[in-house]
């Protein structure tokens, strides 16, 4: 399981790639999974996922 710092680094890299290679009006969202797990056992708490999405001005959903 990847920890939050590594996941955040990957997400930042993906966002950078999207901004460099996709059209300006492309829709971006951040989706977290395992929302049914106990918050203490999840790799990324909901609040951290939302904060990362907020950093890029994109929507955040969990499944």
Over the stretch 9-30, which tens digit does the pLDDT of each residue have?
999 999 999 999 999 899 999 9
Task: Give how far Cα 39 sits from Cα of 6, 22, 46, Å.
Answer: 19, 34, 8
This prediction's pTM: 0.80
Q: Hunting for tokens 């590594």 — which residue is that? A: 6
Grouping H, G, I as helix, E, B as strand and the rest as coil, residue 37 is: coil
Domain ranges of the chain: 4-62
Rounded to 5 degrees, what angle do the CA atoms 44, 35, 51 make?
40
pLDDT tens by residue, 36-62? 888 888 888 899 999 999 999 999 999
């Amino acid at each position: 399981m990847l920890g939050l710092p590594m996941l955040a680094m990957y997400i930042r890299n993906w966002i950078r790639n999207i901004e460099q290679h996709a059209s300006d009006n492309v829709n971006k969202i951040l989706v977290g999974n395992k929302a049914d797990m106990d918050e203490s056992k999840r790799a990324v708490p909901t609040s951290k996922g939302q904060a990362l999405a907020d950093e890029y001005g994109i929507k955040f959903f969990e499944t």
